[in-house]
Amino acid sequence: MTPLPGGRLVPPTRNTQAKLDRLARDEVRANETPQHSVAAILALGANLGNRAETLDAAVRDLSDVPGILEVTLSPVVDSVAVKLDGPDPDAPGYLNAVARVRTTLSPRDLLAAGAEIERAHGRERLERWGDRTLDIDIITYGDLEIETPTLTIPHPRAVERDFVLGPWWALDPDAILPGVGPVAELLRALQTTPIETERP
């Protein structure tokens, strides 16, 4: 309940209570360990240091995580850095890819594993949407749809990122973004054709 001046408590409205119930449910689901392995899509990106070596090492590191059973990497694409105020062609460019993994980790544990690999490769979170040695985001986790203060699945900005959708489509032309639609159609809506790049 919400306290008011004078100490009175006001019960939550029906909409507020529904949001609280949904948040509580999603928090539970974020921490649930699956009974069977789940396919998840992870987005990988790097725009500092030796980007290609970093992505290769990140895939090896993912393969070594207990609970990650299989890792398949998409083609790698080159992209312009995106900052808070939009694309920044003056910033170092990114190499981007997606990895399809099969995992028995919970969504929260998978997120933590990615963050640990980021730190191992020198990731420092000094600036939101700043340059980075390595970025690992969960895009999908099976067909799960959750929203918590620290984890939203599917990734809320995947639908507008051709550097995620392009590699994902190249890896799996029939891929579906849960709750949204086919990745191929999302790419067409962005009027983007994914272009593979040779690794430097």
d(CA 32, CA 38): 12
Inter-CA distances, 17 with 9, 27, 122, Å: 15, 15, 42
The residue annotated as part of the active site, out of 123, 125, 143, 199, is 123
The residue annotated as part of the active site, out of 51, 108, 132, 161, is 132
Residue 32: count other Cβ atoms within 10 Å of its Cβ. Answer: 12
Catalytic residue status for 132: yes
Catalytic residue status for 188: no
The residue annotated as part of the active site, out of 135, 172, 174, 199, is 135
Catalytic residue status for 102: no
What count of Cα atoms within 13 Å lies in the side-chain half-sphere of residue 46? 23
Catalytic residue status for 78: no
Quote the strand ranges of the chain, DSSP E: 2-3, 9-10, 38-46, 68-73, 77-79, 81-83, 86-88, 94-103, 135-141, 146-147, 152-153, 176-177, 181-182
Residue 99: count other Cβ atoms within 10 Å of its Cβ. Answer: 26
Mind telling me the catalytic residues? Answer: 123, 132, 135, 137
